[in-house]
Structures are given as C-alpha cells and as structure tokens.
C-alpha cells in the first residue's frame, strides 16, 4: 500500500507564510480521505521531519514559494527541481525540508516522490492570517491541491458542514476555542 502525506509547512505568525498550515487544516476539516493519505501540520519543524520523508512513499508539501511572479500564483514543483527555486523566504522550515531530502540521499536511501504545491506570498510579516491577495486565491490553491490528489487516484469525500478559511484561521488565533472537529488537529 502506497503511503502518501500532505505536509503543510510554514509559520502562522508570519501572515502568508502560514498558508501551508491553513491549507492542511482546511483539507483535514472539510474532507475525508482514503486511509493511504495522511495530512500533517509540519509547522516550522524543518529537519525534524526527516522520518516523515523516510517512512512514506510520496510527500506533497504545501508552502509559499519565492519566485518572481504575482502574489497568489501557484506552482507544482517536483522535489528533484527544488534546489532551483526559493521556497518561501529562507525560513527554518523550508531549509529543513531541503536538508531532509539532502540527508536521505547522503544516507543512501531512495528519495520519496515529493513535490511542493507552492503559492507566491504577498507579504511575510508578523501578523496572523493571510493577506487579501492570498485570501482571495485560497480556494483556487485548495482546488489545485485537490485536483493533484485526484491524479493519484485518492478517494476523498467532502464533509457535510464546510469550515471556512476564516474559521480555520481563528482556530490558530484562539486555540482554546478550537477543537479537533474544527481543524482536524
């Protein structure tokens, strides 16, 4: 059985940098997936995610990506090409993800199939929530992830009551008011 992980990385305290975390929480809150797929909040764990890459067959990373393009532009980049792109803005989590892939190669293990579904941020600054530019494109980002997961023949069902992006963000702003039912965490 193929083991697939959707890994949201980023920092919810730095505005658009949290989009990968919000997207993973949104997927978890609004969809049921087949048992072969696991959605994980990787936060800013970086190199601490090494085992996740060693223990799974495919890792799909949700994060911002720093390219010269309009905020909200979406890219799907295979891990074999990641060194040519600037994941986010050089924060600890994306450096750690790249180090995980490098360490796996150095240890002689095969790399899992992996890719980044990245979105260009408008702002990375100390603020919880998303910029208007990324808030406006968030549903398109989610649809891009869902469409990619469909290409992997994963079974998914939308849950009855959908959580909005605002509700997801609020669970991170006010954790004492959140429940696993709201975010899936």
Higher pLDDT, residue 157 or 98: 157
User: Which of these, 171, 135, 145, lies nearest to 61 by C-alpha position?
Assistant: 145
pLDDT of residue 87: 45
The token duo for 28 is 């978890």
Chain-centroid distance, C-alpha 28: 11
Q: What is the pLDDT of residue 98?
A: 72
Residue 88, helix vs strand vs coil:
coil
CATH of the domain at 53: 3.40.50.1450
Average pLDDT for residues 113-125, to the nearest whole number? 93
Q: Which residue would you say has higher pLDDT here, 33 or 2?
A: 33
pTM: 0.86
Of 93, 99, 100, 101, the residue nearest 17 (C-alpha): 93
Q: Tokens standing for 79?
A: 């891990």
Quick: pLDDT tens for 43-100.
777 777 888 888 999 999 999 988 899 999 999 998 777 654 444 444 444 556 777 8
What's the structural domain count of the chain? 1
Domain region containing 136: 4-183
């Amino acid at each position: 059985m193929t083991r697939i992980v959707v890994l949201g990385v980023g920092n919810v305290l730095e505005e658009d940098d949290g989009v990968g975390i919000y997207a993973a929480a949104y997927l978890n809150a609004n969809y049921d997936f087949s048992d072969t797929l696991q959605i994980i909040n990787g936060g800013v764990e970086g190199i601490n995610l090494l085992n996740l890459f060693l223990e799974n067959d495919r890792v799909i990373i949700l994060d911002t990506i720093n390219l010269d393009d309009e905020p909200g532009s979406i890219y799907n980049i295979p891990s074999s090409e990641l060194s040519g792109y600037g994941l986010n803005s050089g924060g600890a989590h994306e450096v750690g993800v790249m180090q995980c892939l490098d360490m796996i190669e150095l240890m002689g293990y095969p790399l899992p199939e992996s890719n980044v579904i990245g979105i260009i941020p408008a702002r990375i600054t100390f603020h919880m929530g998303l910029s208007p530019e990324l808030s406006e494109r968030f549903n398109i980002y989610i649809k891009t992830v869902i469409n990619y997961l469909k290409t992997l023949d994963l079974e998914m069902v939308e849950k009855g009551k959908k959580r909005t992006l605002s509700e997801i963000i609020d669970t991170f702003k006010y954790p004492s008011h959140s429940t696993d039912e709201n975010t899936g965490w």
